[in-house]
Structure formats: structure tokens, C-alpha cells
Amino acid sequence: MSDIDAIERDTLAKVAAASDIAALEEVRVAALGKKGVVSERMKTLGAMAPEERKAAGAALNVLKDRIAAAIDAKKQKLEDAALDERLRTEKVDVTLPAPSSPRGRIHPVTQVTEEIVAIFSAMGFDVAEGPDIEDDFHNFTALNFPADHPAREMHDTFFFPPKQDGSRMLLRTHTSPVQIRTMMTRKPPIRIIIPGRTFRCDSDQTHTPMFHQVEGLVIDRETHMGHLKGTLEAFCKAFFEVDAVKTRFRPHYFPFTEPSAEMDIGYERAGNEIRIGQGAKWMEILGSGMVHPNVLRNCGLDPDEYQGFAFGMGIDRLAMLKYGIPDLRDFFAADARWLEHYGFDPADQPNLSTALSH
């Protein structure tokens, strides 16, 4: 037995002394390898008497397990040490800047249009569209602008050269022609908004030759101006993300609505900010009214049977008011500095189940 003790003592000492994986492997082979000292002893068991073999076998197995455990433990230790040593050489300067990837932005007109669409969708409005290059019928005549009427002059219209038949195309001065296109192709009830590009031959600090409007149209058998007021108040609250909005409707004139109204919203200035909804000042934000009986007739609808409201407002202007963007002309300049500053993260998709904007 003392023999086995000696083997154990001797082998464990060698294990302890092994300074690397190769030396440890040598120890393992010398002890547990095919010709190792423990294996050699195992071979002698066959010649022993059964009683003796049992006792010696058990002792040898214990010896074998202890040595194996010691080797495993030592191996783990050596590997850890080797890894630690390697890691010591693998240091990077983590203060180096991370690689930058270019940041794309969504233009405020897109973002605000999507905000508007989200709100009106929740009120049951579809989104309709029409062409930018229009004819006189859809842009003026069907909308109850009499020929040569001064009301046409309120719209500084871009025209194309006259065709052979004397007619000339124009760039739509408002999104209202889509009202006509919709009413002529769809039966009421109609509940739509129409966002899009509009054009007027006008350019100064607050006017650009192209701008964006969103038009609303509701046609059914019972919608009246009270619904217009309720709808627009709800819209303003949701859009400006405020608890209450003070509104004022004023009689006005548009050829295509009767009665017609402009809507003002209350605001106040605080430093450079405009706070919508509160305050004693009024700001005009949209034109609206009940669709004119002549417009309904022009679209083949009986004004005694059908009725409804329409409104139109400037998308760019809403964006300027909400996000404090100072100059309309910058919207269309594609200046990277402006797009980076006023643009939106593409992941920020307007949505009514979260805050509308972030």
C-alpha cells in the first residue's frame, strides 16, 4: 500500500511542478498512459487472488481518479494562466472613436404629413390624391369660380401654354381639385383628406412657388359646420399635442364653400417659442366651410340630399408652427445642415399609440 501512496505523492508532486500544458501531458502519460506507472500496476491485478485483487483494484482506481482530478485541475489553472497572459497583450484603446455611419433623416414635410394622416385616419378619413398638373375645370370651374371672377386672381396661377383648342393646363393652386375628382368617381359617404403639392406664382419671405396643403372633405347626409368645428378642434389638440386648444371661427369667403369660415387658434409667444392653444392672440390657420351647393351639383350630387364640409390648411406652415422652423424657403433648399437639424429619425414613425412626436 505504501507503494501506492508513494506513486500518488510522487505523481501529485510532478503535477504541481508542471509549468506548462506539455509538461503536464508528460506527467499524465507517465502516470495514466498505456505504459504509465498506474496502468502497469493495473496489469498486475490479473495475477492476484480474488480477495487481494479486489482490495488492490479499489486502491488503484482511487489513485487513478485522484491523479486524473489533479491533472484536470492543474490543466484548467494552466489554461487560465495562458489565457490571462494572452489577454494581457490584446489591449485596444477603447477611447478611439466608434465607426460612424451616416445618419439619414426624414424631411419635416413627410413627418408632419404622416402625423396628420395618423390623426385623421383615427377619425375615419381615407387619404386621396390627384395630379399636380390640372385643367381649368377641376381647379376652378367645378369649384364654383366663375370665369374672370376676381376670386381667380386671389390664386396666382402657373399656366402652361394654350393648346390648339385654346384650353390650357395649369398647376393646381390648391388640393381642392381632388375633391371634385373624388366626388365624381365615388358615391357618398365620403370622408377623405388630401395631402399634396400645390403651386402659386408667388415668392417672398412667407410664400414659395410650391408648398404643401392638406384638404379635408366629408360628404354624407347629415354633416354640418358643428362637425367641422369638432373635427378641427380634435385635430389641433392631437397635432399640437396639447390638452386644450382655443379656436375661433370667422365668416370668410371661398367660392367653393357656403357658409365659409376661417379658423384661428389661440397662441402666445414665450421668447422664441410659439405656444399653441393658450394665450390671448389669434392666428389664422385654415380655411373651411360647407361644400357649396354648386360644387355638389357640378359633381352630380343633389345638394338637398347630400351635404358636408371641406377645409384646407398648409402642411409646411403647420410644421413651422409645431417645430419652430423659422423660414418657409428653407424647406425646399435641400441644405444638409437644415435637414440634419430639423429632420427626423427614420425610426420615428408617427403613431397615435405613442406620443405623436418624440
Minimum distance, C-beta of residue 156 to other proteins, in the bound complex (Å): 9
**DSSP-derived 3-state class of residue 156:** coil
Range 103-137 burial, b when 16+ CB lie within 10 A, else e? eebbbbbbbbbbbbbbbbeeeebeebebeeebbbe
Q: What is the dihedral of CA 326, 110, 104, 199, to 10 degrees?
A: -70
The nearer residue to other proteins, 290 or 301, going by C-beta atoms, is 290
- List C-alpha distances in Å: 35 to 42, 182, 325, 351: 10, 96, 87, 76
Nearer to other proteins among residue 324 and residue 346 (C-beta): 346
Site for other proteins in 206-235 (CB under 8 A): 209-210, 218, 223-231, 233-234
Residue partners of 74: CB distance under 8 A and separation at least 6: 15, 16, 18, 24
325 binds other proteins (CB under 8 A): no
Residue 25 beta carbon to other proteins: minimum distance, rounded to whole angstroms: 32
Query: Shortest Cβ distance from residue 202 to other proteins (Å)?
Result: 8
Pick the stretch among 16-24, 26-34, 43-51, 346-354 that binds other proteins (CB under 8 A).
346-354
Q: Minimal CA–CA distance to 218: which of 126, 134, 286?
A: 126
The CA distance from 123 to 125, in Å, is 6
In the list 104, 187, 270, 341, the residue contacting other proteins (rule: CB under 8 A) is 104
| Residues 124-163 within binding reach of other proteins (CB under 8 A) | 124-127, 129-133, 146-151, 153-154, 158-161, 163
Site for other proteins in 167-196 (CB under 8 A): 168-169, 171, 191
126-127 and 190-199 strand pairing? parallel
Among 255, 256, 254, 234, residue whose Cα is nearest residue 243: 234
Query: Which residues, at least 6 apart from 241, have a Cβ–Cβ distance to it below 8 Å?
Result: 355, 356, 357
Residue closer to other proteins (CB basis): 85 or 148 = 148
Sign, CA torsion 41/44/48/50: positive
Comparison of 14 and 191: residue with beta carbon closer to other proteins: 191
Q: Which of 120, 240, 306, 311 binds other proteins (CB under 8 A)?
A: 120
Q: Give dist(CA 292, CA 228) in Å, integer.
A: 15
Burial (CB < 10 A; 0-12, 13-18, 19+), residue 216, is buried
Q: How many residues bind other proteins (CB under 8 A)?
A: 94
Q: Per rule CB under 8 A, is residue 166 in the interface with other proteins?
A: no
Distance CA 8, CA 20 (A): 20
Instruction: Rule CB under 8 A: choose which of 37, 117, 274, 325 binds other proteins.
Output: 117
Q: In angstroms, give the least distance from the CB of 264 to other proteins.
A: 9
Which residue do the cell numbers 482490495 mark?
55
Q: Does 252 bind other proteins (CB under 8 A)?
A: yes
Q: How far is the CB of 271 from other proteins (least distance, A)?
A: 23
Q: Shortest Cβ distance from residue 238 to other proteins (Å)?
A: 13
Nearer to other proteins, 231 or 298 (CB): 231
Question: What is the nearest approach in angstroms of other proteins to the Cβ of residue 52?
Answer: 52
- Give residues 63-82 in contact with other proteins (rule: CB under 8 A): none
Which amino acid is located at 340 in the chain?
E
Give min distance, CB of 310 to other proteins, in A: 13
